Structure 1
Amino acid sequence: MPPIGSDLHRWIAETSLPDLYAICAALILAAWLIYWIGRDVWRWAWRRRHVVFFHPFQSRIRHSWRRFAHVHLPKGMAWLDIPKYRQALVLAVMLAANVFGLRFRTQSWTEAQKRAGSLAVINLIPLCSGVSFGLPADLLHVDRQTLAWFHRWVGRICVLHSILHGSLLVSIARKTTLASPRYVVPIAAGCALILVIPVTCAAVRRRHMQFAMKCHYLLAMTSIGALFYHLVERQSSYRWYLIGAVGLWLFISAVVCLMAVWDQKPWRPSRNEVIMNSVSNFLWLDITMPLNRTIHPGQYVQLWMPRTSFRAFFQLPVFYIAFWEDGPTQRTVRMVAEPRLGLLRKLYHDALHSPSKQPVTVLGPYGHPLNFHRFGTILFVVEDIGFFRALSYIDKLVQASGKREVMVRKLEVIWKRRVGSDGGFLFLTYLRAREPLLLTEYSQGIHHGWMNGCRNF
């Protein structure tokens, strides 16, 4: 019987490098998921047994590396969508892996160009993360912005591979015409992939978010359809990777929808409804959720409101939870949004005439809270609408400090609010509290609707 090492070496030698690239990426992702799921299960079991949870071992080296990874890079790197050292390290690993998969064991430049097409198809798999980043981000224990950043850069790498693979047409055009469907369809797929980058750049997303997302989905569906035709026509084995990517998107989307349906049980007479009000140039939304759905500070939900308009049927806007109140049978969750453009502006104007109420489907809550309990002094520096994202943390710290459950004894909030139509900013609010009693008064003042004044403790 031959040794296992020789069988493994023979299997590696016979397997193509793009396939090895996909297998290694899948193993890394599986190991990451198993680690976080196992850690969550261990924490849950420890809490059940010991009631109070504490970290048995904390390494100073680990925390120092974590602080280094979150340091911001110079402003020029932020323009390139690489804001922190952590993102720069992840991007360097991704580029190195793709370059290695592209050039290792290649005999000619033509072979590398053909291999680029295989890598482009493989890189489509992590792009298919479902209708929402919420559930994948929670499973991977990363925040939504990090997963969106990873999604953008994987898409850019996929476009680079597509351009490199499409350069084969230069030599083909010298021998034959490119007017046949054999070449027109893959050219259309490559053009659709390339157009995704400009329509989803930061400037377009800030001003026309929903338009950018609609163009993104239309171009993505066009490119996947054309690419599937191209792979089937060529009888390429990588069509199964593309089918797997589409199946992954459908599976994650189905799980998200089924979880939302199971939590809300729309077949019951009492359905979830959202109440919208316009107060102080903000859109306030109140929804009711069952008590068995745990909510943590800093989390967000996505609302599907198909009865608002035809456009709203295809949108899942994100709302960060400001605070919540528990009732006898249900929990009331309040969220705040700034009505700038699109659906939020329409909802704001509708609620400006009269408070509106309509059925809603809630996806979430998603997000992992930050742990501030071991700090004695906390300073929040928030800008405009970002104050309400920090409000849930402030409220929990107020309650825990009043009960002497945390080390927090000093809390300061600097709120930088937008003033005027020119988009300028002015420091209007400086809040400070040193004692739990004053913190409690501050929290109660916010819950009673205080918004415009400056209040100092």
Structure 2
Amino acid sequence: MMDAIQIYAIAAGGTLCIFAFVNLLPLLIPLVTRVSIFVSKHFRYPYILHRHRILGPWTRAGVVIQLAYLALNLFCVFAVPSGDGLKAANFSDAGRRAGALAEVNMIPLLAGPHFAFLADLLGLSLKTIRGIHRSAGWMTAALVFLHAMAAASDGPLPIDVSQNLFAVIGASLLCLLLVLLFPPFRKLSYELFLRSHQALAWGSVYAVWRHVPSDKSSPRAYIYITMGIFAATYLLQTGAVIVRNGVFRHQLSRATITHDSGAVKMQLRLSKPLTMDAGQYINLWIPSVSFWSFLQTHPFTVISWDAKDQDRLDLLIEPRRGLTREMLYHAEKGYTINPLVMFSGPHGGTLSMGEYESVLMVASGFGIAAFLPHLKKLIYGYNTRAVRTRRIHLVWQIKNEADGLIVQEPLNIALEEDKLDDGCILSISVYVETKSSPKKPFGERATMYPGPAPLPEIFLAELSGNNIKVHAAEVGAEGQKSLEQSESTSSTLQGDVESGSRWTVAGDGRMLVAVSGSEVIRDDLRAVVRKYIRMGVRFVELDYQPK
């Protein structure tokens, strides 16, 4: 037990450390910023393995993390503590340790009934949660394989013993689960694949529970922890759905389903107002669309936004297969009128685009849906002087002119709302891949160009800062000097970057490049932006990415 002198020494030393930390904090922030830029440029953005039908893309940072994860698991399997330090485990002991470690790796696999809710709970992106699930799944399978090899090397396993029988059953279920992961099985029917995946996973858990000896509490404790975490997150998610939908206090929400230019448009009339930030999405359940739809929930990006709570949510849905194709069919035939719906959400993090002076939005196809709420929020923030943004350029790549009709009306509304001080902070460029005629107007103040979008040229033009709108009242002596510098250096921007110049965007402003587009567009933009990270540019892939 500590005496008064020890407590005094710890308190005095801790106080001095706090003062020193606060004093050194201004010096640490630039260091952290430089380290972050270095990591982004050399690890987060570059690919080691590019996209492939089965593998990729793998960034350098991703490979380093996976290797560290693999090394940690190998150390836990083969390194055994002893009185003299660490020693290598024999193959039989390593197999037993691999079995226990496989149970530990199963915990994140079954941490929740839905990825979206788990991502919100942990404050991670949906892409990160899926990556963790994928890595933990393959690691669990590898450890189970090692455990089975070690058990087989110890001698025959009589099947008439219950523990051995369920070991074989569990291994068989796991092998079937891995086989169904291959793309041909997933594309056949994703809903059927998902339910089969979940059923096989829980079947494997039950087989492991029966395989583990009942007289050993430690291995079974991992299974009880897994089930306890799943039950807790399931109850939390169920409670959130009940509260959000007002199940016991209000009537359930209703939907109006229409179609336009091959797209499904849906408006939800909510039973109670909902706070929804730009870029967030909901998981929707519509039991009356098809026979199996009562077993399905699908994520959809909300394209409406309001500064206040919303009692109506607008969705723009791309018909693919399964439920979305059924929704288009019902909308065209008028079969489903005013159906009951339930939803979970809002899901997804918030992206503060208003912190950036210049925002370049790049979309292809239905990726435009992810940017519509951001446009509304940014223009509202500009009109109310609540954001820093002074330039928005939306670049939309489509296959033919007919695709542009889907959102021409909301884009024109956004342009009309861009009216403070004569507006014009928003510029919209539409590029048609199959079009060869000269450019022409696309609605109000938007332009349609032929061919694919020249993304590097567009990015450099925005990076120069020449298109950023600055009010006369905001331009003092320093501001005028900054603008003159921007104009004089824009033509030599490429050379400045290659020589390592620290010239920044329009007077130390920051630029955001956000993309919701095809894999080719995302990879091309990533490669371009990587060279300009030191100039205050940030690259973001939104949650929704069109196929």
Q: Could you say which residue in structure 2 is the equivalent of 1:208?
A: 189
From 136, 160, 163, give the equivalent of 1:154: 136
- Cα gap change, 1:401 to 1:202, in 2 (>3 Å): farther
Change (3 A) 1:345 1:247: same
Larger mean CA deviation between 385-394 and 110-119 belongs to 385-394
> Whole-Å Cα distance in 1 between the matches of residues 276 and 122 of structure 2?
19
User: Does residue 295 in structure 1 map to residue 268 in structure 2?
Assistant: no
Output one character per residue of 1:332-374: Cα deviation in whole Å (capped at 9) or x when no partner: 1111121111111112111111263211111000111212223
Query: Which letter does structure 2 place at the counterpart of 1:61?
Result: R
Contact 2:268 2:314 in 1 (8 A): yes
- Aligned counterpart for 1:107 among listed residues 79, 89, 100: 89
Residue 356 of structure 1 aligns to a residue in which SS? coil
Q: What one-letter code is carried by the residue in structure 2 that aligns with 1:258?
A: G
Q: Unaligned regions of 5+ residues in structure 2, if any? A: 2-27, 81-87, 429-440, 448-547
Which of 301, 309, 331 is the aligned partner of 1:351? 331
1:202/1:387 CA distance change after superposition, 3 Å? farther
Matches for 1:201-350 after TM superposition, within 5 Å: 201=182, 204-205=185-186, 208-232=189-213, 235=216, 237-289=218-270, 293-324=274-305, 331-350=311-330
Q: CA deviation at 1:309?
A: 3.6
Matching residue within 17, 42, 47 for 1:73 = 47
Q: Indicate the residue corresponding to 1:7 in structure 2.
A: none
Shift of 1:258: 0.5
- Residue 405 of structure 1 is matched in structure 2 by 386
Question: Does the residue aligned with 2:282 lie in a helix, a strand or coil?
Answer: strand
2:118 to 112, 126, 136: 136
Matched, 1:380 2:376: no
Q: Which amino acid aligns with 1:64?
A: I
Aligned residue identity for 1:136: L
Equivalent of 1:369 in 350, 358, 361: 350
Kept after mapping to 1: 8 A contact 2:111/2:226 = no
Which of 65, 68, 71 matches 1:93? 68
Separation in structure 1 between the aligned mates of residue 304 and residue 427 of structure 2, nearest angstrom: 14
Distance 1:140 1:282 in 2: 34
SS in 2 for 1:319: strand
Structure 1 contact 325–331 (Cα < 8 Å) conserved: no
Mapped partners of 1:419, 1:396: distance in 2 = 28
Q: Which residue of 1 aligns with 2:145?
A: 163
| AA partner of residue 208 (structure 1) | S
Q: Is the 8 A contact 2:245 2:252 kept in 1?
A: yes
1:87-141 deviation line (CA, Å, top 9, x unaligned): 3333223212211111111431111111000001111111113221122212322
Shift of 1:154: 0.4
What is the Cα deviation at residue 269 of structure 1? 4.8
Paired amino acid for 2:152: V
- Report the CA distance shift for 1:113/1:187 in structure 2 as closer, same or farther (over 3 A): same
Q: Does 1:395 align with 2:376?
A: yes
Q: Offset at 1:147? A: 0.4
State the alpha-carbon separation in 2 of the partners of residues 84 and 202 from structure 1: 22
The alpha-carbon distance between structure 1 residues 394 and 340, as it changes in their structure 2 partners (threshold 3 A), is: same
TM-score using structure 1 length:
0.75
SS in 2 for 1:302: strand
CA RMSD between the two structures = 3.4
The more displaced of 182-191 and 75-84 is: 75-84
Distance across 2 between alignment mates of 1:326 and 1:397: 11
Partner-residue secondary structure (3-state), 2:45: coil
Deviation of 1:226 after TM superposition, in Å, equals: 1.0
Structure 2 vs 1, CA of residues 209 and 184 (structure 1 numbering), >3 Å: closer, same or farther? same
Which residue is 2:451 aligned to? none
Quote the offset at 1:435 in angstroms: 10
Mapped to 1, the partners of 2:338 and 2:310 lie a distance apart of 17
Helix, strand or coil at the partner of 1:129: coil
Which range is displaced more, 218-227 or 130-139? 130-139
1:410 and 1:230 map into 2 onto residues whose CA distance is: 62
2:34 corresponds, among 57, 61, 66, to: 61
Superimposed CA distance per residue, residues 286-315 of structure 1 (whole angstroms, 9 cap, x where no aligned partner):
113477632111111101223434422222
Deviations, residues 373-410 of structure 1 (Å, cap 9, x unaligned): 23222211112111101221122112212333223222
Whole-angstrom CA distance in 1 between matches of 2:386 and 2:304: 20
Task: Report 1:442-457 matches (<5 A).
Answer: 454-455=442-443, 456=446
- Residue aligned with 1:412, SS: strand
CA distance in 2, matches of 1:206, 1:401: 44
In the aligned structure 1, how far is the partner of 2:201 from the partner of 2:219? Answer: 18
Paired amino acid for 1:165 = H
> AA paired with 2:106?
L
Count how many residue pairs are aligned between Structure 1 and Structure 2. Answer: 387
- Structure number, greater radius of gyration: 2
Q: Choose the corresponding residue for 2:104, options 114, 122, 125.
A: 122
- State the shift of 1:205 in Å: 4.0
Going from structure 1 to structure 2, the CA distance change for 1:373 and 1:70 (only over 3 Å counts) comes to farther
C-alpha displacement at 1:326, in angstroms?
7.5
Q: Is the 8 A contact 1:410 1:434 kept in 2?
A: no
Q: Take 1:138 and 1:269, find their aligned partners in 2: how far apart are those partners?
A: 25
Distance in structure 1 (CA, Å) of the matches to 2:63 and 2:442? 40
Rounded to whole Å, the distance in 2 between the matches of 1:326 and 1:369 is 14
8 Å Cα contact 1:272-1:288 kept in structure 2: yes
Residues in 2 aligned to 1:357 and 1:145: alpha-carbon distance in whole angstroms: 33
Indicate if the aligned counterparts of 2:257 and 2:264 stay in contact, CA closer than 8 A: yes
* Alpha-carbon distance, 1:189 to partner: 0.7
Q: Are 1:83 and 2:58 counterparts?
A: yes
Contact map agreement 1:411 1:433 (CA 8 A) in 2:
no
Q: Distance in 2 between matches of 1:399 and 1:202?
A: 43
Q: Distance in 2 between matches of 1:224 and 1:439?
A: 59
**Inter-CA distance 107–143: structure 2 relative to 1 (3 Å threshold):** closer
- CA distance change for structure 1 residues 138 and 61 in 2, over 3 Å: closer, same or farther? farther
**Which position in structure 2 is the counterpart of 1:53?**
none
In percent, how many aligned pairs have the same letter?
A: 21
Q: Partners of 1:218 and 1:359 in 2: how far apart?
A: 28
